[in-house]
Structure 1
Amino acid sequence: MSQEFLWYIPNQVDPGHRGDDVVEGHNSLATLTEQALALEEHGWGGALIGTGWGRPDTFTVATALAARTTTFRPLIAVRPGYWRPANFATAAATLHHLTGGRALINIVSGRDNLAAYGDAEGDQPQRYARTKEFLQLVRRLWTEENVTFEGEHFRVEDSTVVPRLTGGTPRLYFGGASEAAERVAATEADVQLFWGEPLDGVADRIARLKRLSAELGREHAPLEFGLRITTLIRDTTDQAWSDAETKVAAMAPTTPPTRSAAARWASSASSTSSPAARSSTTTSTPPRANSAPAAPAPPGWSAPPRRSPSPCASTATWASPTSSSPTPLTSPS
């Protein structure tokens, strides 16, 4: 198990993602490739690429960027229902094979415009039951041949996915704070992602997920954990808070900006079931050279990569397989 640091690349039609500057060609292949190459150059492992109806297809964007990079690992957000398990397992296996094992997958169970692509789902327990089935079947299709499976939501008969993966399968990331979500994560996910929440709360959730993994008879490698953090970087703390409060006020003009509101914005706190797949404040400006020195990492964590000194906001995932007291990459405090 190892730690990894991932950025976030906006994947949306409309420019100005949560207060970002509106720039021409924000979602062109040239711009997105420039971001991915900059991440490679400055030591980041890859980037999350979000999903949702009304956005460019995430898998297509990830494939295009993987073809133009050499070490960049796309964390591809996907939804059960938008994908059928066998179709998805084949697409992911193909990309993982062609890129030499660089595909990462973020499973999203949050709400979407399901009717737009002919999908439907029930209440929260039903939604997560379908997600669990999806994960179980995808793992079997990656690791077994001639799979026959008949569940409540999906079925296949004598199914063999090609190409066969001999060097390991894509890691499966997952988010969600409800009881139903945590039971799925405890048994089926590889990495549980949290928002940048208060550290005591995150530590409690890590401990609870570890207990659930044991109680529910987890059959995979131990569950790992990651933080999904939005950072706003400025030359001084006061400037960072001031700009964060200004952004909060612009997004919610009827609410007076406060440091607590800015902190909630800065950590991308949300009640949505999948923190890794929802939009958060970020920038299309990737990290550059001459980054500000990183603060010392806490025990059990390695120092984050160098960060941009330019006025920008960024989103990163900081994952640790062992720590029960995670610390954000950086914050405006």
Structure 2
Amino acid sequence: MEIFWFIPTHGDGRYLGTEHAARPADFAYMRQIAQAADELGYQGVLIPTGRSCEDAWIAASSLISATQKLKFLVAVRPGLMSPAVAARMALTFDRISEGRLLINVVAGGDPVELAGDGLFLDHDSRYSLTDEFLDAWRLFMRGEKVDYAGDYIRIKGGQLAYTPVQKPYPPLYFGGSSKAGQRVAGKHADVYLTWGEPPEQVKAKVEQVRKLAREQGRSVRFGIRLHIIARETEQAAWQAAEDLIRYVDEESIRAAQNIFARFDSEGQRRMASLHHGKRDGLTVSPNLWAGVGLVRGGAGTALVGNPQQIAERIEEYKQAGIDSFILSGYPHLEECYRVAELLFPLLRVSTGKSGGKAAYVSPFGELANRNNTAAHAETAGSDSLDGK
């Protein structure tokens, strides 16, 4: 099982839909999250893409030297990048990071944003373009000389000077819930991604994309994008979920849903159908809560519960065919730790660490080893001003 975390390059906070307790996505904060994920044992991080985010490639590149093992899932954008330029960027990143790049293929789902970036194709045409883009991109990454003539892409005599560390190229992660998107995924994806729908819906997607891949003589793995609200008790977890949308009012819900309604993304439509823009009925499957999607586009569901409940739900997704879990929580630094501490032992995720057992050290120098019934006292000085 792969467990990834998320770097919020668009900003972070304790609450959704408000500036209250919000945090800017500056480099120091992104680095903190990346280093925490690296140290805690997450295999990788997703770097988001879009006009509300810092540039994904520059953000990810800045974090290579700040981490050791962490992989970076970074988007290529067919229609906004040429296959040759995208391949050169991926090749360089893969070499500098010594094989720590994963590719997130994003065709886009917001026609308004895409028009602002200069792309004016309709939904299915974008996926046809994506198909051609990936045909050419894979040829470049394999070190071949590229002559390509399609309906959208034309290349004559293209070639890269180097080859990637990962052979034949960094793995391709691909999301797309429409028929057009799933066809492209079946042909090209190494890992097909879905947002957090109920397990039975996810299983149906897995079976469909697996069938399409078999028709291409291929096999594909599957991943899911979810938020996590884990607490030591179920009651505390649901209270944290309610707290997350404490400042979300009906006006902000309407404004967000009006924006999402312009999307031509089937995945976004499926997310919206889970809550219909209403606060009641947000629990759409056991421990699966759609409250995030009231004001957040893209992944709009969270697993909510105590560690045992969330581990059981993750096991259900595993049984449906999912083996890559891309998780997040608000705020992302604290929740990165919380998810690792509460869930990793139940999911048998290895942190790769070695050394002594954890111990509690008081500010006054007293150390209580959890494996020793006797309390040990250290004689280090107090930080109290009067010492009494």
Asked if residue 292 in structure 1 is aligned to residue 342 in structure 2, the reply is yes
Mapping 1:218-237, distance limit 5 Å: 218=217, 220=218, 222-237=219-234
Mapping 1:155-234, distance limit 5 Å: 155-165=154-164, 167-168=166-167, 169-215=169-215, 217-218=216-217, 220=218, 222-234=219-231
Q: Structure 1 unaligned runs (5+)?
A: 298-302, 307-333
Residue identity matched to 2:283? S
Using the TM superposition, give the Cα deviation of residue 9 of structure 1 relative to its aligned residue in structure 2, in angstroms: 0.8
Asked if residue 106 in structure 1 is aligned to residue 104 in structure 2, the reply is yes
Matched residue of 1:183: which SS?
helix
Counterpart Cα distance in 2 of 1:194 and 1:13: 23
Using the TM superposition, give the Cα deviation of residue 176 of structure 1 relative to its aligned residue in structure 2, in angstroms: 1.4
Using the TM superposition, give the Cα deviation of residue 247 of structure 1 relative to its aligned residue in structure 2, in angstroms: 3.1
Task: Give the CA RMSD over aligned residues.
Answer: 3.3
Is the CA contact (8 Å cut-off) linking 1:193 and 1:227 kept in structure 2?
yes
Is the CA contact (8 Å cut-off) linking 1:249 and 1:257 kept in structure 2?
no
Alpha-carbon distance change, 120 to 93 in structure 1, aligned in 2, over 3 angstroms: same
Using the TM superposition, give the Cα deviation of residue 144 of structure 1 relative to its aligned residue in structure 2, in angstroms: 3.4
Counterpart Cα distance in 1 of 2:103 and 2:15: 23
Identical-residue share of aligned pairs (%): 29
Is the CA contact (8 Å cut-off) linking 2:13 and 2:330 kept in structure 1?
no
Q: Structure 2 unaligned runs (5+)?
A: 252-277, 302-323, 352-388
Look up the match of 1:5: 3
Using the TM superposition, give the Cα deviation of residue 257 of structure 1 relative to its aligned residue in structure 2, in angstroms: 4.5
Counterpart Cα distance in 1 of 2:108 and 2:249: 23
Using the TM superposition, give the Cα deviation of residue 195 of structure 1 relative to its aligned residue in structure 2, in angstroms: 1.8
Matched residue of 1:192: which SS?
strand
Counterpart Cα distance in 2 of 1:44 and 1:271: 24
Is the CA contact (8 Å cut-off) linking 2:36 and 2:333 kept in structure 1?
no
Relative to the length of structure 1, the TM-score reads 0.77
Counterpart Cα distance in 2 of 1:16 and 1:161: 45
Indicate the structure with greater helix content: 2
Relative to the length of structure 2, the TM-score reads 0.67
Matched residue of 1:27: which SS?
coil
Is the CA contact (8 Å cut-off) linking 2:80 and 2:117 kept in structure 1?
yes
Look up the match of 2:374: none
Using the TM superposition, give the Cα deviation of residue 71 of structure 1 relative to its aligned residue in structure 2, in angstroms: 1.1
Alpha-carbon distance change, 13 to 38 in structure 1, aligned in 2, over 3 angstroms: closer
Alpha-carbon distance change, 96 to 166 in structure 1, aligned in 2, over 3 angstroms: closer
Mapping 1:1-333, distance limit 5 Å: 3-12=1-10, 18=16, 22-23=21-22, 26-112=24-110, 113-121=113-121, 123-165=122-164, 167-168=166-167, 169-215=169-215, 217-218=216-217, 220=218, 222-248=219-245, 250-253=247-250, 255-260=278-283, 263-265=289-291, 282-286=330-334, 287-288=336-337, 291-292=341-342, 294=344, 296-297=346-347, 303-304=348-349
Alpha-carbon distance change, 213 to 187 in structure 1, aligned in 2, over 3 angstroms: same
Q: Higher relative contact order by CA 8 Å / sep ≥ 6: 1 or 2?
A: 1
Is the CA contact (8 Å cut-off) linking 1:85 and 1:137 kept in structure 2?
yes
Residue identity matched to 1:241? W
Is the CA contact (8 Å cut-off) linking 2:139 and 2:145 kept in structure 1?
no
Count, aligned residues: 293
Counterpart Cα distance in 2 of 1:165 and 1:32: 26
Counterpart Cα distance in 2 of 1:195 and 1:153: 29
Using the TM superposition, give the Cα deviation of residue 236 of structure 1 relative to its aligned residue in structure 2, in angstroms: 1.6
Using the TM superposition, give the Cα deviation of residue 185 of structure 1 relative to its aligned residue in structure 2, in angstroms: 0.7
Cα deviation code 1:243-296 (max 9, x no counterpart)? 3134346435374444527712369999969999x9975423153388125574
Matched residue of 2:64: which SS?
helix
Residue identity matched to 2:337? R
Is the CA contact (8 Å cut-off) linking 2:279 and 2:291 kept in structure 1?
no
